Structure formats: C-alpha cells, structure tokens
Structure 1
Amino acid sequence: MTPADLSLTVLHAVRRAVGDGALRMEAPLPERVKVERPRPGGRGDYATSAALQLAGVAGLPARRVAEVLRDRLAGAPGIEAVEITGPGFLNFTLRGDSHAQLIARVRERGDRYGHGSALAGQILQYHHRREVRAAVVTQAVARLQTVQGALVRVGCDAVDPAWAALGVRVDAEGAPPTPLPEAVRPLPVTYDVYALGRDAARWALLRPAAHDRALEARDVLPQTEANGLFTVRYAHARARALLRNAAQLGVTAAYEEDVDAGRLLTALGDHPAVLEAAARHRASDRVARHLEATADAFLGFQHTVLPLGDEKPSAAHRSRLALAEAAGTVLAGGLALLGISAPDYL
C-alpha cells in the first residue's frame, strides 16, 4: 500500500462515516487526504491529521472524529493497526503483505510507477525567458505534470540553439498573443553549465530549489558520496549488477517474505506521492531529493541481497533481490523524469 492508496482508503472511510450518519459535515467533503510519515510522538508507518481538519466542520472533538474513522479503517486491506495519538492524529501500521503488493506494483508498472492522474483534465501553458536554467526547469516541470495527466505547452520568446545539448524542447517560439505565466522563475545560472555535459548540467540546474543557486562543477562531477547525482546513479548501477550476479547464481527475484528494510520500502512507497507533490508545486528538486534518499536507503541494504560464501539461496534472498530490482526501477524512472540517464555500468 502506497501513501496514495492509504489516502484514498482514509477518504473512503470519511465518506462511509458521513453516509451512515456517524459524521455530519457542514461543508463539502475534502477531495484529498494528506498522508505522511509520523511526526515525533507518532507511531507506525504513516499518519494523517484528517480528523483534526474535519473536526470543525463535523462539530465534534478531533479525537472523536479520529475514533469514528479508526473504527472504519481497522481491518482494511493492507492495514495492520490504526492508533490515535496526540489531539487526534491517526497512525497506521501496514501489513507485511502490503510490501509484497508494493513490490509487485513497481515491477508491473516499471519506469511508469508513480505516474498518475492527479492533474487529469488540466490544460497548462507556460512561457519562460531566454535563459538556460529557466528552460531546463520549465521542461522538467512540464514533464512531471504531464505524467500526472495534464496537457502542458511550453513557449519561449526566442530559443537558444545551445539548449539542444541539454535535451531542451520548446513547443512554441515567439511572444504569445496574451501573457502566459511562468511555471517557475529560478535564479539564473552564472557559469558555463554546458561544460558539465548533459546529465551533470541538468542535475546542477534541477537539484536546488528554484530560489537557490545552481550547483557547480565541484558539486556534480566528483565520483564520491558527496555528489548526489553520482550516488543515485551508482545505486541504480548496483541494483542492475545485483540482478546480473543473481542470474549467474541462479537466483530469481520474487518477493516471498517480508524484508527488514523499512527505510527503503518507505522510500519506494512514497514515490508516487513525491511525484504528485512535485507536479503540483512545480518543484523538480523534490524528485531529486527523494532519489537521493532512496539511493541512500538502498546502498545501506544492498550488501544483504545475495548469498555470501557457502550460504544457499533462500526465499529471503529472492525477496531482497525483488526489492533491489524495484529500487533500481524507481531510481531509473525518477532520473528519466529529470531528463537524466541511468547507466547500468559506472
């Protein structure tokens, strides 16, 4: 179960509570319910403040709203336990089999895992100035919104031919007949970013938030763990190497038993919500930061995947291999959305 799945489950519980009269709303039901990692003092895998948000319109204390929702969420598919903490936070512990469902979904969707329909039906038009970072960031935002279902068109007063080296494409050139908004207005880059090469240049422009300065060569070229781009691509290459090595050992990927890799499983489960938030907030840097967190979690886990020495392959190894494969898929898919390659060998 992903955060997006859990959000829908909570929303359905709210609707059932209203439908059977347990909650009376003086305002329209929310279209979305935010689910996130528990805050200090929280428990389980995820939490939501939905009960606190609904308390006012329901005319009930937040804890009472939380109790109503807990009764309708307990035993839902993928949920092991629901607890109430603080003034009315709902905390969820997921079932182990939900991890199997998560891995199956990643493997089924491939590099399209996390793509959704949150912006379906929206038609968005942007216009940016003739500046390389504006061009790259706007294109990345457009791609993120497109995979969430939006129709996006990007224009610029005048296209710089050099942008082609960074894979930038503009739908329309010239001043629009009516003013169009900018998707985002990042700080311009102040050095020759083209000298970095396409992948490093795009990471240098997209990894910082738009209001921060672009990264420089010393941040994106060294092959060390201090370089987020290298870490993400190295983690992907390691995942692919594990699959090659496993094939030589006759080990196949199959998530047959739960794996003790909470950070990595959480990162994979959070991926759809991160992509949706990045699209809504026009913030490609959120994707880059999430890929770094996923890579760090994977690199802390990857040494346990294959049998060591005389150890015989087991269900545990097959399950860890399936998790490693899913991690590589998410890393490659995320890099592709940023227009960055994910080589199998580094």
Structure 2
Amino acid sequence: MTPNELSAALRAALAAAIADGTLALDLEALPEQILVERPRQREHGDWATNVALQLAKKAGTSPRALAEDLASRLGSTPGVKSVDVAGPGFLNITLDAATAGELARTILTQGPAYGRGDAEAGHKVNLEFVSANPTGPIHIGGVRWAAVGDSLARILQAAGAEVTREYYFNDHGAQIDRFARSLLARAKGQEAPEDGYGGQYIQDIADAVLAEVAAAGGPDPLTLPDDEAQEVFRSIGVAQMFTEIKAALHGFGVDFDVYFHEDSLHESGAVDRAVARLREGGHVFEKDGATWLRTTDFGDDKDRVIIKSDGEAAYIAGDIAYYLDKRERGATDVILMLGADHHGYVARLMAVCAAFGDVPGENLQILIGQMVNLLKDGKPLRMSKRAGTVVTLEDLVEAVGVDAARYSLVRSSTDSSLDIDLDLLSRATNENPVFYVQYAHARTANVARNAADHGVSRTAPDGSDAFDPSLLVADTESGLLGSLTEFPRVIAQAAELREPHRVARYLEALAGDYHKWYAECRVTPIGDEEVSDVHRTRLWLNDATRQVLANGLDLLGVSAPERM
C-alpha cells in the first residue's frame, strides 16, 4: 500500500464518518490528500498521521475521540494489520507483510518509471542556470549551479513538468570589450589591461584565434589597426571560449536545449517592444532625460532606469526583454538560478514580473546559491592552474571525477555555503557520501550475481515468479520497504520545493537501510540449505532496491556502477 493509497483510505474513512453523522463536518472541509508520514521510531508502525488533530476542533470533538473512531474504521481496510492511537490523537498504522512487500513487485514492474508522477504536470518550466560570461572558464560557483540546475531539471521532468534548459549567453556589454582587449594584448606579448582578464587561458585563446585566422587564410590580426584587431579577437575569441564552456559542461553531463544570445535582444528590437508593453501598462515614466520603470509600485526599494539619458539601454532592460521573451515562448514557470552576489537583483526582477501582470514567486522564481569552498589538505583551494584566479569546473573534475563532483554539489541545500573536502571525496570509504550510495548499488548487483551462482532467481523451478511478500517479516525488511515506498513522494517534494538535495539525502538513507538489511537477511542459502521462496522473495527486494538507487542516482546525473 502506497502513501497515496493509505491517504485515500483515510479520506474514505472520514467521509464515511461524515455520512453516518459521527463527524460533524462537510465533505468540502476534508483535505484532498491526508498527509501520512514515516514515524520517527520504527516500533510505532509503518505510517503515522495527525489528521485527527487537524480536524477535531472544526468538528466539535476531541482529537483522541476522532482518532479512535478512525482507527476502528481503518482497521478493516485490506492490507492494514493494525491501527493504534497515540498521545493526544496520533494514528500509527502498521501494514501486513504481504501488503507492504508487494511494493517490490510494483517497483520491478515499473522499472525506470518508478518514482515518476504528475505533481508538476501542466507546468512549462524555463530553467536558466550557469549562464557564465564567455570570458573565462566556469568557476566553482557556476559549477554548483550546473550540477544543481541539471538535477532540478531531471527531477521536474520526473514530476511531470515540461522543462527547457536554457543558457543565457552574455555576448553584449563591457565585459566582452575587456575580454577582446585582453586577448589582443596577450597576442602582442603584452600584459592584459588593468581591467582585463588574466590567466593562462587568455594566452591559449589568443593563440587559438591567431591559428584559426591563419588556417582560414585571413590577414594577421596583429597587422590591423587596434580597433579592427579587437573586433577579430572579440568575434572569434568569444566563440572559442564558448565552445570550451559547452565542451566542459557536456563532459560534466550538462547540456542545454536553448543557448540564448543576449545580443539578439538588442538587435531584434525585443528591448524596445518590452519597454513599450510596460509603457502601455502605465509603469514607465520619463525623468532627467532617461526612461524609468516604476518598480517601487511592486515592492522594489527604488525605481529603475531602463533607458539611460544617452539613449543606451540599461542592464535591466535586457532582463526585462528576456523575461517577456520566455513568457511569450510559453513558459508558465520562469526559474532563474543566480549566485549570492545577485541577491540585490531579486526585488527588481520580481517587480518586473508583477509589472507585466504576472505573479512573482509563481511565474518567476529565483533561486540564490551560496558560495562553494574547496578544501585540500584541510586548507582552502583558491587558485586554478589555468584560470589563475578561481577554481574551475575542470579543476574539480580532475580532482575527484564527475560523479563525486556532481553529487557533492547537489547533496546540500543551495541556501547554505558549501565546503567540499577533496581528500574525502577521493576516498573509497563510507565517509564519502557518493561512494556510500554507489557502493550500495554495486552491492545489490553483486548480490544478484551471487544469487545466480547459487541457483537463486526470482522465478521458481516451475516458472512462477516465486514472489511471496508475506515472507518479508524481518524488521530490516519492513524498514527497507518503507524507504522504497517514500521515493515517489521525495521526487514530488523535491520538485515542488525546487530542492534536489532531498533526493541525495533520501538515497543516503535508503543505502543505510539496505546495508542494514544486507547484514541481517541472506539472499543465498548457507551450506547445504536448499533454495526456498524466502531466498527468491528477498532477491525481489534486493533487485527493487537496486532499481530505486539507479533511478535516484540518474536524477542527480550520477552513474550507478555494477562493481566497485
């Protein structure tokens, strides 16, 4: 029995109490779904609910009296072994072994689809993340968003949403000018300008530009006037840098559906159209020769200039046009992932959302990620061999590999800063969280191989499936089944809250429950013991765990190894 099925049974019991006059409520007063949760202490049962405490006051009765009535009604539900009333009115529910164990069959029948649902169905999500300036390699803060953003996209899709992964290509503005000047300077053998970019990668890109021009038979940029040479380094250098960024992300398991060029907003007239739309709504005014957006009407601390007095578009003008463009492309949920240094942008962007008549927090959602610190030998690692100033994606992957890098960046809430111990992630021990989870999956595969060697399969000699869930009576079996049951709800909650770390933490708990079960319950016979349906049924449970671990790791973009 799944949590949803148990919730439905509880609601049916409440509806029956209303129908026979025991409960003085209208059906409309009942929640659509009754919340059931795993009790903190296993001996309290498989599931618990406080619905009696929630509804008793409205019904003019005591929580305990309502709980006792529900217990008597629910006790006759097929698959429910017992229902106990605890404290002021909590219900602790225990399922019979056969009902609980049927989950293993469900998981193996559904396979990779187990855990997926429709909680986010109907949502068309435009998820923008990373969006690093094409002026250098992706630094460690951007790497965190690469891991979290891609995992969130996978989780939202598993919950039924239609997701577009989008990368905002900042190819417009002063930072691109500084990048081009830096390339030109290094090509000439000079130091980068004071406000330019340093690091070995600048020399590498400058050399690549010269090589590409030479291969194409073009004039040597160093023989051109500086303004013309700078344009060559701008166009080719930015393309070279962006190719490197995309290749690094692809190697990290992250690809995008849309690469949106900032420059296109200005060239296509999208900025002018967005400003005109806001002007029609009465949210734009003129002052001091500039055009302003009245964002204070929507909670911002001050109004914002969108077109400067010299006629140039302010930075926020691009953001305005870009948001409108996403909505016009059909996105119902525009999600932006920004670094901690962008916290001040939240109020003004939410004001833009409201000015277009949308709902801040719904049509526009902004996630702020905190800093990442890498530790090596117990000390902060701050410098990259290639970038010179920051640690990059390539540095992290070189140190610990893609799986450990992705998992370590996803397993903590983005609301908190993150310290990553590179030495810990390099160890093949249970202290390393990604190893702990991956090892659990590898162990399930090893158990299946050993079972085959001992003549244990999921089918009996007569060809039947030999699955008897009533045999799964050990406490560790009940605990493991309970954890497996939670997976669909964990996905739905992670999607709703936009918190991929919930999946990682769930996998660690599931791995722990599996390791406990493995230590107590054998799948293979000992000595001359004959293979029985207990062994076969336990193999079903082992393989079901293997499937859920693989499904969960896939949501995080982490591999599920068969051997370790």
- The answer to whether TM tops 0.5 is yes
Equivalent residue, structure 2, for 1:339 = 557
Equivalent residue, structure 1, for 2:506 = 290
Equivalent residue, structure 2, for 1:177 = 323
For 2:153, which of 138, 142, 145 is the aligned residue? 142
For 1:210, which of 414, 424, 430 is the aligned residue? 414
**Deviation of residue 129 (structure 1)?**
4.7
Aligned-pair identity in percent equals: 38
In structure 1, how many angstroms separate the alpha carbons of the residues matched to 2:59 and 2:259? Answer: 51
In structure 1, how many angstroms separate the alpha carbons of the residues matched to 2:123 and 2:25? Answer: 28
Equivalent residue, structure 2, for 1:118 = 119
User: Structure 1 stretch 302-311 or stretch 104-113: which is displaced more?
Assistant: 302-311
For 1:238, which of 443, 447, 466 is the aligned residue? 443
User: Secondary structure in 2 aligned to 1:125?
Assistant: strand
Output one character per residue of 1:28-66: Cα deviation in whole Å (capped at 9) or x when no partner: 421222211224698211100111112233232212322
User: Secondary structure in 1 aligned to 2:372?
Assistant: coil
Equivalent residue, structure 1, for 2:296 = none
CA RMSD of aligned residues (A): 2.3
User: Structure 1 stretch 91-100 or stretch 212-221: which is displaced more?
Assistant: 212-221
Equivalent residue, structure 2, for 1:319 = 537
Structure 1: give runs of 5+ residues left out of the alignment: none
Question: Which amino acid is 1:9 matched to?
Answer: A
In structure 1, how many angstroms separate the alpha carbons of the residues matched to 2:455 and 2:149? Answer: 45
Equivalent residue, structure 1, for 2:396 = 193
In structure 2, how many angstroms separate the alpha carbons of the residues matched to 1:269 and 1:166? Answer: 31
Equivalent residue, structure 1, for 2:434 = 229
In structure 2, how many angstroms separate the alpha carbons of the residues matched to 1:150 and 1:21? Answer: 41
> Are the equivalent residues in 1 in contact too, given 2:107–2:547 (CA < 8 A)?
yes
User: In 2 relative to 1, CA 235–42 (structure 1 residues): closer, same or farther, beyond 3 Å?
Assistant: closer
**Deviation of residue 330 (structure 1)?**
1.0
In structure 2, how many angstroms separate the alpha carbons of the residues matched to 1:58 and 1:118? Answer: 30
Structure index of larger Rg:
2
In structure 2, how many angstroms separate the alpha carbons of the residues matched to 1:67 and 1:341? Answer: 48
User: In 2 relative to 1, CA 42–345 (structure 1 residues): closer, same or farther, beyond 3 Å?
Assistant: closer
User: In 2 relative to 1, CA 312–226 (structure 1 residues): closer, same or farther, beyond 3 Å?
Assistant: same
Equivalent residue, structure 2, for 1:258 = 472
- What does 1:75-90 correspond to in 2, within 5 Å? 75-90=76-91
> Are the equivalent residues in 1 in contact too, given 2:490–2:502 (CA < 8 A)?
yes
For 1:280, which of 493, 496, 502 is the aligned residue? 496
Question: Which amino acid is 2:503 matched to?
Answer: V
User: Secondary structure in 2 aligned to 1:313?
Assistant: coil
Output one character per residue of 1:97-128: Cα deviation in whole Å (capped at 9) or x when no partner: 11331111111111221111222223333333
In structure 1, how many angstroms separate the alpha carbons of the residues matched to 2:30 and 2:123? Answer: 21
Equivalent residue, structure 1, for 2:386 = none
Output one character per residue of 1:195-229: Cα deviation in whole Å (capped at 9) or x when no partner: 23221111011111212315332232210011111
**Deviation of residue 305 (structure 1)?**
1.9
Question: Which amino acid is 2:45 matched to?
Answer: G
Equivalent residue, structure 2, for 1:300 = 516
Equivalent residue, structure 1, for 2:144 = 133
In structure 2, how many angstroms separate the alpha carbons of the residues matched to 1:98 and 1:86? Answer: 27
In structure 2, how many angstroms separate the alpha carbons of the residues matched to 1:19 and 1:184? Answer: 46
**Deviation of residue 21 (structure 1)?**
3.7
User: In 2 relative to 1, CA 6–188 (structure 1 residues): closer, same or farther, beyond 3 Å?
Assistant: same
- What does 1:149-164 correspond to in 2, within 5 Å? 149-158=160-169, 160-161=245-246, 162-164=248-250
User: Secondary structure in 2 aligned to 1:300?
Assistant: helix
> Are the equivalent residues in 2 in contact too, given 1:47–1:90 (CA < 8 A)?
yes
Question: Which amino acid is 2:9 matched to?
Answer: T
Question: Which amino acid is 1:61 matched to?
Answer: S
- What does 1:72-111 correspond to in 2, within 5 Å? 72-111=73-112
Q: Which stretches of structure 1, 4 residues or more, deviate above 4 A after TM superposition?
A: 39-42
Question: Which amino acid is 1:211 matched to?
Answer: D
User: Secondary structure in 1 aligned to 2:437?
Assistant: helix
User: Secondary structure in 2 aligned to 1:92?
Assistant: strand
User: Secondary structure in 1 aligned to 2:367?
Assistant: coil
Structure 2: give runs of 5+ residues left out of the alignment: 132-141, 170-241, 261-318, 327-333, 337-365, 374-390, 459-465
User: Structure 1 stretch 267-276 or stretch 201-210: which is displaced more?
Assistant: 267-276
Q: Number of residues paired by the alignment?
A: 346
**Deviation of residue 235 (structure 1)?**
1.3
User: In 2 relative to 1, CA 19–279 (structure 1 residues): closer, same or farther, beyond 3 Å?
Assistant: farther
Question: Which amino acid is 2:411 matched to?
Answer: R
**Deviation of residue 343 (structure 1)?**
1.5
TM-score (norm 2): 0.57
